[in-house]
Amino acid sequence: NAGVTQTPKFQVLKTGQSMTLQCAQDMNHNSMYWYRQDPGMGLRLIYYSASEGTTDKGEVPNGYNVSRLNKREFSLRLESAAPSQTSVYFCASRIGLTEAFFGQGTRLTVV
């Protein structure tokens, strides 16, 4: 049972490049989330998907897009990376209102 798997673990991008962060869960959870973690700011919600086929904006959606590909997978895309998007990105999933399970994170640096 792998839980929540994120790829890649590390990435360096140049300003203006695009990339997609992948997330997959094998726990049959209905809700999935993307957060970014910055020093002193805790975890801020970028986008979430309450169920397959739905996505909604969180606190900091600008510069990002998401796709809920199926129940297992929820990807986050940066169309034109900016240095302000340098952060650690976490994917999480949960079922109903229970606790969320987190991936190990993707450390992204935009230069």
Partner 1 sequence: AQSVTQLGSHVSVSEGALVLLRCNYSSSVPPYLFWYVQYPNQGLQLLLKYTTGATLVKGINGFEAEFKKSETSFHLTKPSAHMSDAAEYFCAGGGDKAAGNKLTFGGGTRVLVKP
Question: Which is nearer to partner 1, 6 or 85 (by Cβ)?
Answer: 6
Question: Which is nearer to partner 1, 87 or 94 (by Cβ)?
Answer: 94
Q: How far is the CB of 80 from partner 1 (least distance, A)?
A: 27
Contact residues: partner 1, CB under 8 A: 31, 33, 35, 40-45, 48, 50, 54, 56, 58, 90, 92, 94, 96-105
Question: Which is nearer to partner 1, 86 or 101 (by Cβ)?
Answer: 101
DSSP annotation string for 11-63: EEE-TT--EEEEEEE-S--SEEEEEEE-TTS-EEEEEEESSTT--EE-S--TT
62: Cβ contacts below 8 Å, ≥ 6 apart: none
